[in-house]
Amino acid sequence: MPRRKYWTPSQDYQLREFVETHGPRWGDIARVIGNNTTGKQCRERYRNHLDRKINHSKLTLLEQAEIYRLYEKHGSKWALIAAQLPGRTSLQVRNFYYNVRRIAKRRDPARKMSVSYICGKPQ
């Protein structure tokens, strides 16, 4: 089965309308949308991008601090962390955390080989 490449605005609209009208029947939705779309792809697209409960604005400083605090407590359990941040998805939380780490690594390349970096603990 060929892989799906992208979502069109029309398919996003169809997906959102179907979920809001009939509920999250992902297999049925995939058949309506077509284009080699699976139920799992529909579920992920809706939960991470189209759900009206999602806050798409930039993370606040308080949310960022909470992500760091919860990461120290729970590790990379992104769904658990996102559940503590209303309106945020596990994908948003994970991407924020790894983007910050990537930027920090670029700014301080010597840190790559430090023991604390390898062990995942801040210096």
Looking at the structure of the chain, the number of domains it has is 2
In a domain, 18, yes or no: yes
With residue 116 as reference, give the H or E element that holds it. Answer: helix 115-119
Assess whether 67 and 104 both reside in one domain: yes
In a domain, 56, yes or no: no
Tokens of 112: 């790559």
- Ordered DSSP codes for 12-58: HHHHHHHHHHH---HHHHHHHH-TT--HHHHHHHIIIII-TT---SP
In a domain, 4, yes or no: no
Assess whether 71 and 113 both reside in one domain: yes
Measuring CA to CA, which residue among 51, 118, 39 is closest to residue 91? 51
Full-model pTM: 0.75
pLDDT digits (tens, 9 = 90+) for 43-83: 999 999 999 999 999 999 999 999 999 999 999 999 999 99
Chain-centre distance for alpha carbon 54: 10
pLDDT band at residue 38, thresholds of 50, 70 and 90? very high
Residue 119 pLDDT exceeds 60: no
Measuring CA to CA, which residue among 38, 32, 39 is closest to residue 13? 32
| CATH number, position 71 | 1.10.10
Range of the domain at 33: 9-50
In a domain, 3, yes or no: no
Assess whether 15 and 44 both reside in one domain: yes
Tokens of 36: 């080699």
